[in-house]
Amino acid sequence: DAGVIQSPRHEVTEMGQEVTLRCKPISGHDYLFWYRQTMMRGLELLIYFNNNVPIDDSGMPEDRFSAKMPNASFSTLKIQPSEPRDSAVYFCASKAWDRGNTEAFFGQGTRLTVV
Amino acid sequence: KQEVTQIPAALSVPEGENLVLNCSFTDSAIYNLQWFRQDPGKGLTSLLLIQSSQREQTSGRLNASLDKSSGRSTLYIAASQPGDSATYLCAVRPQSFGNEKLTFGTGTRLTIIP
């Protein structure tokens, strides 16, 4: 397996524009996570899915953020409208369920810059 | 609310030395603790996962210990090499059933001096 695949790797957009980040988890994994990493706040969980169903979205900062997982092999994180404070590295991760003690595998991340 | 702290934020040691990275957490009700490595501009790579019932885990030159009652974990790296230079993060998963929400520390940036 190629691991967790995220696209694009880099995104530069103007304030107010819509941004869509994409993630393909590892095949067979039951969980998918979206994280955001900044210098100020470190790594924060935004939302996670189990079997394509959102389980906890308490980390989603505002209504401008939304995430979907239409099938087991694809997820999107959308920001509309984007703001400069959304600039960060966004990571997607996936893991299999094995009574909970399994490791999460991370993608390479998408570096988002909102100008 | 769980808080995870890693001190120091940065560490430089000469090649070949053994070293210890520290991780502390405020809520001892954890299911497991995981250590990750992050290289600049890259994602996170899982190094070790310790279940709450375990005291330590080993992988090659890495040894992670867990003292759940005191809220501490350490990552021991033996015979350090320049390739070990990276940021190391620990993360804890809460004990509550079905809760997969990891809380990360802010990391320790490690530099091994050749």
**pLDDT tens-place string over residues A9-45:** 999 999 999 999 999 999 999 999 999 999 888 999 9
Q: Which of residues 30-89 of B touch A (CB under 8 A)?
A: 31-32, 34, 36, 42-46, 49, 51, 89
Residue A1 is predicted with a pLDDT of: 66
**pLDDT tens-place string over residues A77-86:** 999 999 999 9
Asked if residue B71 has pLDDT above 70, the reply is: yes
Yes or no: say if B69 and B16 are a contact pair by the CB < 8 Å rule: no
Give the nearest partner residue to A106 out of B44, B51, B103, using CB atoms: B44
pLDDT over 90, % of chain A = 85
Residue B97 is predicted with a pLDDT of: 75
Rounded-to-integer distance, Cα B109 and Cα B83, Å: 13
Average pLDDT of the segment spanning A57-76: 94
A60 in helix, strand or coil?
coil
Residue A99 is predicted with a pLDDT of: 61
What is residue A109's DSSP assignment? -
Min Cα distance A4 → chain B (Å) is: 10
**pLDDT tens-place string over residues B6-64:** 999 999 999 999 999 999 999 999 999 999 999 988 889 999 999 999 999 999 999 99
